[in-house]
Amino acid sequence: MTITDDFLMERAKRGPHRGWDTFDIANEGIRMQRLHDIVSADVFDNQSAHVAVDELTTFAHGMGYADADSCLHAIAISPDSPVNEALRASVFDEPSEGDYFAEIRKSERVLIEIANTFDARQFLARQPLERLMLSAYEKGRDLREKDENSHRPTSRPTP
Q: Show pLDDT as tens, one digit a residue, over the chain (159 residues).
A: 455 677 777 887 777 777 776 566 567 888 899 999 999 999 999 999 999 999 999 999 999 999 999 999 999 998 888 888 899 999 999 999 988 899 999 999 999 999 999 999 999 999 899 999 999 999 999 999 888 777 654 444 444
CA distance readout (Å), 110 to 74, 87, 103, 105, 116: 35, 30, 11, 9, 12
CA 142 – CA 134 distance, rounded (Å): 12
Where are the chain's structural domains? 3-145
| Alpha helices for 43-128 (secondary structure H) | 46-77, 84-88, 99-114, 118-126
pLDDT of residue 82: 85
pTM, rounded to two decimals: 0.83
pLDDT of residue 6: 74
pLDDT of residue 151: 61
